[in-house]
Structure 1
Amino acid sequence: MKDAINQMEKIVGLRPKEVYVDLGYKGKDHHPEDVQVHLSNKSRKKMTRWERMWMNRRSAIEPVISHLKYDHNMIRNFLKGKEGDRINAILSAAGFNFSKLIRAFFVISKILSLHRFYFQFESCFFSFLKDLNFSGTTIYKRFTHLYRINVNRTLS
């Protein structure tokens, strides 16, 4: 853990004051002196609200790492050397990001198609209502001013 914290300090430029880890880091020989280490062996009742929040955040990241390993071929690297490790990591990250982009575009297109369908249905429905005669009843107050539906006409 000391190496990971030093690498994080080198990359980010800040040293963390607190670290939330699982039981794999149990034991004082892993812990740096200036960083407070929180293990996940406490019961949920004894944790503060913020500790529970950070533990939930940590446990939410682990499935993403597992999917990255299994779905994007990071279990085994078939490329040679450290350069092969770098290439494999970059290609896996690119594939992961592309799958997130495709999923986002799919969701946006689904929302737009539902929106388009709703307004097509709405205009068709109210054009049908406009041709009907009603005896003093209010149809839908929100749309009566849009379609100029005459609700006071009587049946002839």
Structure 2
Amino acid sequence: MTLMVHRLAAFVAIMCIATFFSATIFVELFGTGESIATLKSLIVWPGLFILVPSIALTGGSGFALAKARSGRLVQQKKKRMPFIGANGILVLIPCAVFLDRWASVGAFDTHFYVVQGIELLAGAINLTLMGVNMRDGFRLNGRLRRSA
């Protein structure tokens, strides 16, 4: 059961971040101020209320699964998770809230785009780290061969 929860929560978390990331780029390139404001609002609600619990469930279930395991891959996954969580709590959530507030009043100024750049960078970092954790998880359960 823990493994199923872990897989589902990880999938939801990765899909949320990937969706937020790609939608942000798409709406910035092709959208209007109103569509940017709508997207930023949707990222905060319901987006963060889906993402935050899914990351917490992924981390908690991952630590529970790792109790019975040891080795280099398990240790590397354990080292990445605090950074993923801290990046989300300290960077991604505040950025999302500020961007939503500024977009809702049409404040698309330098501050908005600097914070959005920070948000995109932090999102890309989290996606990369989560992808590497997923790869290592596949290696741990035998779905992917370990490289020599």
What is the TM-score when the length of structure 1 is the normalising length? 0.28
**Comparing both structures, which one devotes a greater share of its residues to strand?**
1
What is the TM-score when the length of structure 2 is the normalising length? 0.29
**Comparing both structures, which one devotes a greater share of its residues to helix?**
2
